[in-house]
Amino acid sequence: MQFPRPAPWRGRACASLALALALGLLAPLSTAAAQDSTIEALSQQLDRLQREVQVLQRQVAVGQPATDLKVPEGEAGPLLLRLNDLENTLRNLTGRVEELSHRIDETNGRVDKLSAQVDTRIGALENAPAAAGGEKPLMSGQKEGGVRVLGTMPQGAAPETAAPVESAAPGQTAALPAVQLPGGSAKEDYDYAFGLLRQADYPRAEAALKAFLEAHPKDELAGNAKYWLGETFYVRGDYKQAAVVFAEGFKDYPDSSKAPDNLLKLGMSLSNVGERGDACKTYTALLARYPNAAATIRQRAEREKGRLGC
């Protein structure tokens, strides 16, 4: 199966869309997380006030005093005033909770709308005819420059940066190596693709992971496959394309076990292309949206924020 590489102009356009995706999808997340915490605090305050109102209502009920709450003579008036104050406070807090809930719904609606727009624009670019002068893939066996161990990659000394990929000759359309998946279960296909990644055969791993996602888009391993597809670009120094894939992986598989990893590497990819502000927003969104992410992921995000001075 052959997977043509996008022409350079399409790569740049898709990368720009990835930045828009990061801004549009991640910026509301930190706001929504803050609103969620505010709603939780207000809800707790409402619960306390409601319990107090119930006690006061029992105390001032005419002819039906609570057996365990006796109202001293002459204190019914002050209790009624206190009850009125609490009821007014309850109404105000209820209004604030409803307002915040509405704002969160609006934020989610904007995120959904932006996701649909980005999907449409990326799809149009990917389906457009390839321009001349496509990129030449880094073939298996070629020597890569400037390697250093990437902590999040599996065993197999993956380079974090690589020499720039040379352009193909004019009129030549570069294609990935042909890869044939085993064709058995989704797990067998995934293991085959992942095995190529462990061997640091990144062009064939890229092709195999794309084939897996085409064959098994809804499988429980699809989120993992999308993340490792992003890694095949990241380790070769193609940070713009890596940002596109990591952003898509976060958007398409937000509940995947690799979702926090997608955000972490999206931030690192954005940082590597000079988008410091967007990288900071990505790390902030990661920490807000996934408070229970693995400690290594959260610690790396915090370190990257510190390094960038977020």
DSSP 3-state of 4: strand
Task: Output the pTM of the full model.
Answer: 0.52
202 part of a folded domain: no
- The letter for the amino acid at 218 is K
What does the pLDDT read at residue 155?
40
pLDDT tens, the chain, 310 aa long: 444 444 444 445 555 555 555 555 555 555 555 555 566 666 666 667 667 666 666 655 544 444 444 445 555 566 667 777 777 777 777 777 677 766 766 666 666 566 555 555 555 554 555 444 333 333 333 333 333 333 344 444 333 333 333 333 333 334 677 878 888 899 999 999 999 999 999 999 999 999 999 999 999 999 999 999 999 999 999 999 999 999 999 999 988 999 999 999 999 999 999 999 999 999 999 999 899 999 999 999 999 999 999 9
108 part of a folded domain: yes
Contacts of 303 (CB under 8 A, 6+ apart): none
217 part of a folded domain: no
DSSP 3-state of 225: helix
Please say whether the beta carbons of 72 and 65 come within 8 A. Answer: no
Number of domains within the chain: 1
Taking the C-alpha atoms of 247, 280, 257 and 209 in order, what is their torsion angle to the nearest 10 degrees? 40
159 part of a folded domain: no
Please say whether the beta carbons of 6 and 262 come within 8 A. Answer: no
133 part of a folded domain: no
What does the pLDDT read at residue 88?
73
Helix 202-215 to helix 222-234 angle (10° resolution) is 150
Neighbours of 21 (CB within 10 A): 26
201 part of a folded domain: no
Residue showing tokens 């930190």? 30
DSSP 3-state of 146: coil
Of 1, 5, 2, 3, whose CA–CA distance to 136 is shortest?
5
Full domain range(s) for residue 57: 8-127
60 part of a folded domain: yes
242 part of a folded domain: no
> What is the domain-level CATH number for residue 113?
1.20.120
Cα separation, 245 vs 276, in Å, equals 18
